[in-house]
Amino acid sequence: MDKPYGEEKDRSSAPDFEELSRNVARLIEGASQATAAYLKPLQEQQIPPGLSNDAAEIVKSLGRVAETWMKDPQKSFEAQSRLGTDFIHLWSSTLMRAQGQATEPVAKPEPKDNRFQDPEWSENLVFDFIKQAYLITTRWAGWLVENAEGLDERTRHKAEFYLKQLSSALSPSNFLMTNPELIRETMKENGANLVRGMAMLAEDIQAGGGELKIRQTDPGNFQIGVNIATTPGKVIFRNELMELIQYAPTTEQVLKRPLLIVPPWINKFYILDLNPEKSFIRWAVSQGLTVFCISWVNPDAQHAEKGFEHYMREGIFAALDAIEEATGEKKVTAIGYCVGGTLLAVTLAYMAAKRDKRIESATFFTAQVDFTHAGDLKVFADEEQIRTVEASMKKRGYLEGRNMANAFNMLRPNDLIWSNVVNVYMKGRKPLPFDLLYWNSDSTRMPAANHAFYLRNCYLQNKLAKGEMEVGGVRLDLSKIKVPIFNLATKEDHIAPARSVFVGSKLFGGPVEYVLAGSGHIAGVVNAPAKPKYQHWTGGPVEGGLEEWMSKATETPGSWWPYWFSWTKEQAPKMVPAREPGGGKLEPLCDAPGTYVLAKS
């Protein structure tokens, strides 16, 4: 039976060479199967091998850095001397250790770096040298990018991002012969770990249609609607783009004003309903809110022309109409998460222009409206790359789900890519079941028109912030939005950085409550009060810079959820008897979580 991460096998360290030989033969056979799985789609589509667009971007960006240093021979010599000096210190330290003298490391891993935790990385002279040489070299390369003179900030950002990818990929922890833990494990198992890993590699390449779909968790342990996304409710409305779920109440009285959640379509909505302990939706219901949530369709070719206006009209507006039919209420509180928040801001600006007042207060979870300081995903959004994406989407009518999944994984390569490569494909261990990683791997496609609009108008041209974006024939002005705003950012967010959300807060025309949560884009949002992991900061008006705001803000341990609910209740405190799904004019279509969420990419 395959063993999960962390489970050790009791074997002697001496290998059985006969078994090792058999496993080498099996490994070669498995490698052939993995290669065949990779080559099959290329052969079927007659695609010639060549340099990928990503590889070309890496070469171009890092080449620009090299050019800036080579222009000045003196500075180039000083940079090389800096690296040489560090290696002289490393050689000296290593020789002293070889003679039995105690020395301090020349380069230490960061405290949160889990790649070099095995004691042999420090105790074994050879592996300690390899580790430190890697750290010295990658940090020197990072210094070159940071200190390259005359480099525009966009190119510097791209170079930093791509260097992080290369540094993560070339870590000695990723290779059998330079990782003491992998060598030890392979000897103990006579190579059986590599055979298991190769078999899973072939399976995952096949599952990815010729591209590796990295196994991050064991999907067999999860079933949507059974042990994930289980909050009771009913789908009360469905159209081409979304299903609307109304959740069953758990209190006798509820707030009169319903809550509409607009999740991102880049991922599936159940990030807010992972399990009963982590579910924001379940918790909101328990506080006395009538919760409605959009579940977006996983689009295909027939949705190619669905753009932002369609998502506004057939998404948010259709949901508002359905909520009125279900509850009799014309006015709602709304939440928009990530790109769902960007869509909500677009919708609010459109509604302000049309004097439509059905949304009376709005909350944004890690959502951007100003993309000046957008996160690492901005690396993929220059004119040339967007044209490449548009050309690819034109062939199918949508962006493949794995494209965005790969981009998100690249934001944390050590945690989401290489740790899994080592544990699954080299140690041969099936990953432990983890609901968050199951959701992360349950990717969705994007309609061509929608995604192209988003990339060009937001990431590339920042039109929403500039007041230049047009939707449905209306030029959008965020300053016309006067409803109260609760704007949540997270401190370590690489997708919607806290600074970006803070700057965007200044564009709204009404009162804004900016709140900063600990951790990142997902964990900072999914931080339940029952088991809080992170703190949050609250403060006064959104003025000055983020650092200035932080210096005056109040830090509170634990979840921000109760603070948000108090803010929400203050907007409309009136209570009414609880509403059951299907109690209004709309008959339930099926049980939550519905059917759209089940579609795989």
Judge residue 127's burial from the number of C-beta atoms within 10 Å of its C-beta, 0-12 exposed, 13-18 middle, 19 or more buried.
buried
Residue-by-residue DSSP string for 240-294: SSEEEEEEPP-SSEEESS-EEEE--SSS-GGGGGSSTTT-HHHHHHHTT--EEEE
Q: Which candidate, 287, 246, 257, places its Cα nearest to that of 361?
A: 257
What φ, ψ does residue 466 adopt, rounded to 5°? -80, -5
Bridge partners of residue 4, in order along the sequence = 430
Distances (CA, A) of 210 to 29, 48, 376, 434: 18, 14, 26, 25
**Separation of alpha carbons 439 and 523, rounded Å:** 13
Q: How far apart are CA 48 and CA 299, in angstroms?
A: 29
Q: Are 502 and 482 in contact (CB under 8 A)?
A: no
Q: Tally Cβ neighbours within 10 Å of residue 337.
A: 26
Cα angle: 326, vertex 327, 329; to 5 degrees: 125
**First-to-last CA distance in the chain?**
29
Greatest alpha-carbon span in the chain: 84
- State residue 335 phi and psi, 5-degree precision: -120, 135
- Between CA 274 and CA 438 the distance in angstroms is 10
Size of the chain in residues: 601
Contact criterion met (CB below 8 Å) for 564 and 364: no
* Residue matched to tokens 């580790």: 131
Helix axes 192-207, 17-45, angle to 10 degrees: 10
Strand partners, 224: 228
Residue listed under structure tokens 């190619």: 304
Give dist(CA 335, CA 343) in Å, integer. Answer: 11
CA–CA dist 61, 161 (Å, integer): 10
Beta strand extents in 345-496 (DSSP E only): 359-365, 398-399, 446-447, 470-471, 474-475, 485-490
Cα gap 231→243, rounded to integer Å: 16
The SS3 of residue 322 is helix
Bond before 593 cis per omega within 30 degrees = yes
Residue 43, token pair as written in the block = 């052969």
Q: Active-site residue 458, yes or no?
A: no
What three-state secondary structure class fits 335? strand
In what helix (H) or strand (E) does residue 590 lie, and over which residues does it extend? Answer: strand 590-591
DSSP state of 585: S
Residue with tokens 């008959």: 587
Catalytic residue among 293, 338, 458, 590: 338
Structural contact between residues 306 and 450, judged by C-beta atoms closer than 8 angstroms: yes
Q: CA-to-CA distance for 364 and 514, rounded, in angstroms?
A: 10
Q: Which two tokens stand for residue 99?
A: 């003679």
Which residues are identified as catalytic?
A: 338
